[in-house]
């Protein structure tokens, strides 16, 4: 039985729900009003990422029913994703203290890792590492960082959606070409849900994702990457390579701000993509460049890792090296010039 039609339904439902969320946001005055720390110039409705959340969580139910995802993956995604989306939705409507948000993030991450069974074995330069409980703790930190970095990187029109679509569909290609096509459904449906939203968010954006959507996407991508590691260590490396643009920019920026002694939860515009969007005067060139880097550079390397025995650590180093140069070139983490 073919389930391909389900992908088109997910795109359509996400598109319609995003439109409904835009009307809701306008009616409730949930507007992102530009300020000195913003990367946009016009008031724009926010919270459209709720459409991604609802569509994907609803889509997981038939996936479970038809045996296209395991009960463990269903529990990890549904439980962790719902909690993160609720926290983000509440923060979009008001303000939740950072310590309580972070506590919720760790609870959601621990829930997901419990159902996934911890951190899978990692293959580094031909050596397989089983980290046990230390690995589980590391996996929790990884998920918390993924959901927060996705929030940090959702700062210009379309960038978070393009990154998620490229990573999800790229991962599906890795699965299919490595003989694991039965595992494509969760990333395929997540990518479809994001594609429906992206129709509204592509530059110039008619609605923003909001914390509910960005945090949800971050932890879902993290969960799916770890789940892939249980299928094959090389697939985990492939996911990490595919998500390289966001991982490198966010991590490079965070480290430079930490070294300088900045308050890391304070709003800022010092990511490389933000400096780049100001240099070009538009969001579109930067968003398109992210897509091109993903498809033209990161995806081929990920394919070499999963299909042609390129060591994952070496592939990651190869993939990330020019991204680090770009982060430095576009001044990621530097102090902003006065407006």
Binding positions for Mg(2+) are: 151, 211
Angle at 108 between CA 113 and CA 47, to 5 degrees: 135
Q: From residue 223, how far is each of 51, 52, 319 by CA, in Å?
A: 20, 16, 21
| Helical segments of the chain, H only | 4-27, 49-65, 71-93, 98-116, 132-153, 159-177, 185-201, 210-231, 233-242, 244-260, 272-280, 284-293, 299-307, 312-329
Binding positions are: 151, 211
Q: How far apart are CA 303 and CA 295, in angstroms?
A: 11
Angle at 269 between CA 264 and CA 270, to 5 degrees: 75
304: tokens are 């070499």
Q: From residue 33, how far is each of 65, 91, 273, 277, 283 by CA, in Å?
A: 43, 16, 20, 18, 17
């Amino acid at each position: 039985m073919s389930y391909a039609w389900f992908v088109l339904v997910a795109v359509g439902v996400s598109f319609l729900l995003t439109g409904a969320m835009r009307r809701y946001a306008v009616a409730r005055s949930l507007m992102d009003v530009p300020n000195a720390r913003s990367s946009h110039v016009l008031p724009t409705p926010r919270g459209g990422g709720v459409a991604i959340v609802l569509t994907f969580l609803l889509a997981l139910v038939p996936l479970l029913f038809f045996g296209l995802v395991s009960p463990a993956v269903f529990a990890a995604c549904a439980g962790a994703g719902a909690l993160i989306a609720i926290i983000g939705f509440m923060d979009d409507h008001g303000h939740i203290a950072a310590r309580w948000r972070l506590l919720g993030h760790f609870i959601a991450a621990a829930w997901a890792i419990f159902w996934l069974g911890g951190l899978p074995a990692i293959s580094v330069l031909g050596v397989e590492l089983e980290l046990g409980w230390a690995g589980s703790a590391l996996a929790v930190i990884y998920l918390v960082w993924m959901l927060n970095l996705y929030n940090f990187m959702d700062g210009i029109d379309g960038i978070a959606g393009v990154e998620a679509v490229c990573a999800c569909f790229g991962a599906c290609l890795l699965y299919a070409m490595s003989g694991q096509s039965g595992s494509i459904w969760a990333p395929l449906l997540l990518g479809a849900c994001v594609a429906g939203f992206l129709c509204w968010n592509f530059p110039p954006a008619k609605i923003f994702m909001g914390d509910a959507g960005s945090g949800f996407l971050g932890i879902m991508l993290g969960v799916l990457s770890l789940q892939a590691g249980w299928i094959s260590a090389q697939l985990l490396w492939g996911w990490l390579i595919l998500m390289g643009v966001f991982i490198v920019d966010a991590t490079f920026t965070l480290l430079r701000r930490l070294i300088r002694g900045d308050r890391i939860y304070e709003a800022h515009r010092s990511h490389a993509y933000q400096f780049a969007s100001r240099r070009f005067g538009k969001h579109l060139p930067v968003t398109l460049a992210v897509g091109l880097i993903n498809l033209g550079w990161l995806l081929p390397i990920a394919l070499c890792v999963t299909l042609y025995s390129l060591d994952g650590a070496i592939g990651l180093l190869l993939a990330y090296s020019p991204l680090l140069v770009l982060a430095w070139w576009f001044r990621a983490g530097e102090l902003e010039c006065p407006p």
